[in-house]
Amino acid sequence: MAENQGLTPRAQDFSAWYNEAIMRAELADYSPVRGCMVIRPNGYAIWELMQRALDDMFKATGHRNAYFPLFIPQSFLQKEAEHVEGFAPEVALVTHAGGKELEEPLVVRPTSETIIYDSFAKWIHSYRDLPLLINQWCNIVRWEMRTRLFLRTTEFLWQEGHTAHADEADAEAEVRRMLGVYRRFAEEWMAMPVITGVKTDSEKFAGALRTYAIEGLMQDNKSLQAGTSHALGQNFAKAFGVQFQTAAGGLDFVWSTSWGVSTRLIGGLIMTHGDDVGIICPPRLAPTQVVVVPIYKSDTEREAVLQVSDGVVQELRTAGVRVELDAREGMKPGAKYYEWEGRGVPLRLEIGPKDVAKGQVFAARRTGGKAPIPLEGLAVSVQHALAEIQRTLFDTARERRDAATRRDVSKDDLIAMMAGPGGFAYAGFCGDVACETAIKDATKATVRVIPDEEFRSPTPPARCVWCGRPATSEAVWAKAY
């Protein structure tokens, strides 16, 4: 992409903007394999920071990592009826290996419940072995028809938590705990506000009793399901014979959960914060938080400016800031600015001869605003600025989300909203799948969640937005990725 070529504005074509922003930031590439992407170093560095933060949160809540096989015997998938129905159309099959046809085809894992419960059945004997709290970081394959970088790819990277519990209450607490971890990660790390709640039966995970989700509203007012946490009941335990001796001396099946987030989160980060220049990384997940650009003309200026720049980089690095010095020769400062802006670096420090003379640097925030910062106490000032940018990104996103949220909408409102600006539409729901289907057919909107109490309207809607019968709950509709 040529240096001065702009991106397609978001307002003109959000989808084109999204792809161009990814290319400009060099986050990912299409690959020669249909639907698979190459995650480039700039994109993978964001994923590594996400992994580190999430992994720390998983470990702090008592989970341990393990690794289960990529391949699953086809017969395993068939042991849980709803599960196979949900995943069979999407699987990739290994039929030949080592020069021979296999006796039984192997499924490339579309999710690992079945292969993991086979191990759980071996490992769990008594209530003393429970809860068993396992997580796995791995690649997943689902043969998708329409793919988009990060959001929906044939192969993606994710983590999948799998836990087994002695009773339903303990399992439910786990499902809720991990939903809370996801929400905290989305809000505190990604600066992406989300709503939480439970999915309707038609949107739940294949084989689950209930699926809970976090949903964020992107800048095009479409919803992104960013993480899910499933109460699996005893379904998989029964299918795979995961039984344990209870404290009372009886025999019971475990209650299990699974939960996951994926490289899709990177898509959410881009679509929550990017502007027409490109992506914007929230500081806590920015591989480069600060770039230092020295500005000079003469050799004398160069020496003075580089000396101060080196000192600044050293001071920030010591303070734990992820900082880069861009001292490339033969490249104008403007071209450097453009490149780092496209990569979403939240804070740029320009250092010229005048700044050196004044004992300051000139700070430009990727979120807007320029101001000098004194060299004295620079690290603290920079950390303060990064924290402010993080907060500003979250606040801006939440205000945008709230402005695109309508409550107690009527049928006509819902139709007009989904035909027009989109957004989150809160309204009463009778709970009947017929209404869900009719609404989807008419508006392309789906129930994103039956919202948790915190997000519900003060006065619960009395009637279903579509059929007018009494509402069993409030629901949030939106078009979604």
Give the CA count within 13 Å in the CB-facing half-sphere of 391.
6
Which residue of 53, 70, 327, 379 would you call a contact of a copy of itself, by CB under 8 A? 70
The tally of CA atoms less than 13 A away on the side-chain side of residue 18 is 18
Task: By CB under 8 A, tell whether 45 contacts a copy of itself.
Answer: yes
- x/- binding map, residues 154-173, to a copy of itself, per CB under 8 A? -x-x----------------
Q: Min. distance of Cβ 451 from a copy of itself in angstroms?
A: 34
Closest separation between CB of residue 75 and a copy of itself, Å?
9
- According to DSSP, residue 35 is labeled T
Q: Rounded CA gap, 300 and 349, in Å?
A: 20
Within its chain, how far is the Cα of 308 from the centroid?
A: 38
Q: Does 437 bind a copy of itself (CB under 8 A)?
A: no
Q: Rule CB under 8 A: which of 101-130 touch a copy of itself? A: 105-106, 108, 115, 118-119, 122
Asked whether position 141 contacts a copy of itself by CB under 8 A, the answer is: yes
CA distance 46 to 286: 7
Instruction: Determine the Cα–Cα distance for residues 47 and 350; give it in Å rounded to an integer.
Output: 28
Cα 332 from chain centroid? 36
44 contacts a copy of itself (rule: CB under 8 A): yes
Question: Smallest Cα–Cα separation from 473: which of 419, 418, 421, 436?
Answer: 436
Does residue number 250 form part of the binding site for a copy of itself (CB under 8 A)? no
Which of residues 39 and 84 has its CB atom nearest to a copy of itself in the complex?
Answer: 39
**Residue 73 binds to a copy of itself (criterion: CB under 8 A):** yes
32 or 420: CB nearest a copy of itself: 32
Site for a copy of itself contains 68 (CB under 8 A): yes
Is 29 near a copy of itself (CB under 8 A)? Answer: yes
Number of other residues whose CB lies within 10 A of the CB of residue 303:
11
Stretch (H or E) spanning 180 = helix 168-184
Which is it for strands 424-429 and 405-406: parallel, antiparallel or unpaired? parallel
Using CB under 8 A as the binding rule, the residues of this chain from 314 to 353 that contact a copy of itself are none
SS3 266: helix
Q: Which is nearer to a copy of itself, 45 or 292 (CB)?
A: 45
Strand partners for 145: none
Residues in contact with a copy of itself by CB under 8 A are 29, 31-33, 36-41, 44-45, 47-48, 64-73, 76, 88-99, 105-106, 108, 115, 118-119, 122, 134, 138-139, 141, 143, 145, 155, 157
